[in-house]
């Protein structure tokens, strides 16, 4: 009996993911719920468990391939059943494709992507290939997609050479399990050329891991076929990062008169591409403006110091500043509802609730988990939600549903030492509050110069819907609530 392993639901608006890592290979024994592979979407990592116990069968979607929701990833077969056949030698004579031939098709590119360009072929006609070995790489306007071999055998024909544009249902090549080679068209002769200066392409998951860890390719020992760097290679390099880099690296760059050998080109991760696209869209769409104020954190810090031990003992979570800021923003949003609204065409949609986005930095980029109905939560409830979602964000375990539907966002650049910045809106939201570093500064209080812990606040807002008066009023209400936290209790 064969059981199909398919892409799970990724979120309401997410239609595709990239296969990052396979933890099992054909023939491996698997248990129920044992992790088979890891998928990456624009913002989160999704683990795919085995639905049944048995033996790993065929892997249909290899590492680097982009797949749609419910796409077939692999099969699980009962113990003892055969998996894909082994590769066979190439005969000298060319012939027509036999019944054992398997077409290599363009993988799922995504709902809105209709075509791709063949950028690189890693194999030539006549080469022996293993199942899931990378055959070629496609480029779309969003991502690069590696195409694995659907079966073991011989690359019999290449129907889409490098540089050709193919649609989402096109055939790229033919794999022959018997080793039969089909006479290739002249245009295919260039299909095996490699990019200048580099013979092989590293696995996309490895590139992402190197970028996230700050590890250069020279520091990684490649174990993949043809010298490809794989994700596990990067993990080993990171684990031994304390060791000095190879001595040959620095001299080779130093003696060159050309800067090119000292540069490293790493393809942007899908998350980074999405962040870049959304931020630029925000700037291009919204009439964004930023207004500033500052807040004296004396009272909040005193209140926190007084009750933090009792708070931790009773609620099991630390009392931080974020719950105070969340409460203060909810209070201000009630008075200035347009900051909590959004534009939909020619309509303004006012929200009678607050779904608070809390920006969190992760090793792979910025994500914004959403605390739903924050306006009805206690300090403890907010702190627990922030702690839980923050941990999940750092581990890459957030679902898309947990990052959708926010009505307002708080971004805390102060944890990195930022003294002042202008945050960019998170569309379609109309407001985002930027928190910054708490710094002791001399302040004039009742005619006396005293040292106070001060923080600059920045509110970026969409001027199409929020007027200057509303933005300033919002910041003043946040300032008042934080400088006198009792106002939050009295709803003043």
- Quick one: three-class SS letters along 232-244? HHHHHHHHCCCCC
Strands (DSSP E) along 72-161, which ranges? 72-77, 101-105, 115-121, 128-129, 134-139, 144-148, 153-158
Catalytic residue check, 315: no
Task: Looking at the structure, tell me whether residues 250 and 162 fall in a common domain.
Answer: no
Q: What residue numbers bound the domain in which 66 lies?
A: 1-83
Predicted pLDDT at 231: 67
Catalytic residue check, 127: no
Q: Give bridge partners of residue 433 from the DSSP assignment.
A: 410, 459
- Can you give the pTM of this predicted structure? 0.50
Residue located via tokens 């050709």: 164
Buried b (16+ CB within 10 A) or exposed e, 385-421: bbeebbebbeebebbbebbbebbbbbbbbbeeebeeb
Q: Mean pLDDT, the chain, as a whole number? A: 80
**Cβ–Cβ contacts within 10 Å for residue 312, how many?**
13
Task: Looking at the structure, tell me whether residues 188 and 118 fall in a common domain.
Answer: yes
Task: Looking at the structure, tell me whether residues 174 and 223 fall in a common domain.
Answer: no
Percentage, residues of the chain above pLDDT 90: 32
Domain at 143, CATH number: 2.40.50.100
Q: Would you state the structure tokens that stand for residue 116, as one six-digit string?
A: 């791709």
Closest among 28, 34, 17 to 142, alpha carbons compared: 17
Report the distance separating Cα 187 and Cα 184, nearest Å.
8
| Structure confidence at residue 11 as a pLDDT band (50, 70, 90) | low
Report the distance separating Cα 173 and Cα 182, nearest Å.
10
Residue 422 CB burial class (10 angstroms; 0-12, 13-18, ≥19): middle
Helices 204-213, 231-239: axis angle to 10 degrees equals 20
Task: Looking at the structure, tell me whether residues 12 and 127 fall in a common domain.
Answer: no
Task: Looking at the structure, tell me whether residues 62 and 99 fall in a common domain.
Answer: no
**Cβ–Cβ contacts within 10 Å for residue 275, how many?**
18
Task: Looking at the structure, tell me whether residues 221 and 339 fall in a common domain.
Answer: no
Q: Please tell me the number of Cα atoms within 13 Å of 273 on its side-chain side.
A: 13
Predicted pLDDT at 95: 39
Which residues neighbour 432 within 8 Å (Cβ) at sequence distance 6 or greater?
408, 409, 410, 411, 423, 424, 425, 426, 459, 460, 461
Task: Looking at the structure, tell me whether residues 294 and 167 fall in a common domain.
Answer: no
Predicted pLDDT at 272: 72
Contact 109/61 with Cβ under 8 angstroms?
Answer: no
Residue from 33, 167, 395, 467 carrying the catalytic annotation: 467
Residue from 141, 167, 373, 463 carrying the catalytic annotation: 463
The mean per-residue pLDDT over the stretch 442-460 comes to 95
Tens digit of each residue's pLDDT (9 = 90 or more) over 24-68: 888 888 888 888 888 887 767 788 888 888 888 888 888 888 888
Task: Indicate if the pLDDT at residue 71 is higher than 50.
Answer: yes
Phi first, then psi, for residue 188 (nearest 5°) are: -80, -10
Task: Looking at the structure, tell me whether residues 405 and 480 fall in a common domain.
Answer: yes
Residue located via tokens 């110091």: 305
**Nearest-10 Cα torsion for 330, 333, 339, 343:** 90
Task: Looking at the structure, tell me whether residues 69 and 95 fall in a common domain.
Answer: no
Report the distance separating Cα 53 and Cα 438, nearest Å.
54
The total number of structural domains in the chain stands at: 4
Element (H, E) at 3: strand 2-6
């Amino acid at each position: 009996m064969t059981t199909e392993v398919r892409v799970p639901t990724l979120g309401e608006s997410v239609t595709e993911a990239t296969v990052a890592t396979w933890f099992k290979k054909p023939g491996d024994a698997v248990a129920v719920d044992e992790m088979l592979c890891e998928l990456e979407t624009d913002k989160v990592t999704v683990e795919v468990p085995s639905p049944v116990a048995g033996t790993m069968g065929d892997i249909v979607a290899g590492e680097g391939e982009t797949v749609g929701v419910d796409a077939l990833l692999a099969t699980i077969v009962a113990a003892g059943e055969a998996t894909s056949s082994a590769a066979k030698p190439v005969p000298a004579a060319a012939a027509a494709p036999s019944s054992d031939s398997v077409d290599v098709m363009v993988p799922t590119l995504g709902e809105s992507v209709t075509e791709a360009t063949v950028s690189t072929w890693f194999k030539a006609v006549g080469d022996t290939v293993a199942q899931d070995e990378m055959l070629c790489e496609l480029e779309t306007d969003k991502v690069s997609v590696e195409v694995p071999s659907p079966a073991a055998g011989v690359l019999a024909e290449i129907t889409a050479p490098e540089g050709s544009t193919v649609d989402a249902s096109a055939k790229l090549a033919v794999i022959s399990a018997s080793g039969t080679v089909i006479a290739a068209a002249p245009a295919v002769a260039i299909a095996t050329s490699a990019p200048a200066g580099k013979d092989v392409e590293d696995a996309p998951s490895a590139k992402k891991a190197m970028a996230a860890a700050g590890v250069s390719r020279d520091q990684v020992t490649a174990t993949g076929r043809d010298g490809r760097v794989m994700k596990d290679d990067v993990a080993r390099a990171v684990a031994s990062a304390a060791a000095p880099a190879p001595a040959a690296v620095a001299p080779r760059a130093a003696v060159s008169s050309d800067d090119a050998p000292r540069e490293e080109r790493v393809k942007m991760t899908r998350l980074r591409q999405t962040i870049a696209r959304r931020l630029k869209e925000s700037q291009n769409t919204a009439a964004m403006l930023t207004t500033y104020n500052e807040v004296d954190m004396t009272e909040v810090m005193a209140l926190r110091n007084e009750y933090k031990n009792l708070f931790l003992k009773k609620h099991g979570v630390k009392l931080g500043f974020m719950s105070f800021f969340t409460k203060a923003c909810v209070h201000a949003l009630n008075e200035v509802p347009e900051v909590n609204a959004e534009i939909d065409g020619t309509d303004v949609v006012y929200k009678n609730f607050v779904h608070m986005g809390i920006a969190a930095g992760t090793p792979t980029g910025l994500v914004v988990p959403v605390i739903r109905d924050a306006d009805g939560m206690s300090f403890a409830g907010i702190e627990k939600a922030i702690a839980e979602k923050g941990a999940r964000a750092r581990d890459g375990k957030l679902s898309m549903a947990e990052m959708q539907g926010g009505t307002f966002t708080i971004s805390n650049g102060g944890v990195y030492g930022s003294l002042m910045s202008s945050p960019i809106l998170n569309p379609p939201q109309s407001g985002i509050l930027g928190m910054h570093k708490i710094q002791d500064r001399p302040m004039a209080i009742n005619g006396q110069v005293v040292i106070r812990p001060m923080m600059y606040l920045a509110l970026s807002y969409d001027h199409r819907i929020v007027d200057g008066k509303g933005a300033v009023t919002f910041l003043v209400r946040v300032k008042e609530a934080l400088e006198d936290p009792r106002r939050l209790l009295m709803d003043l």
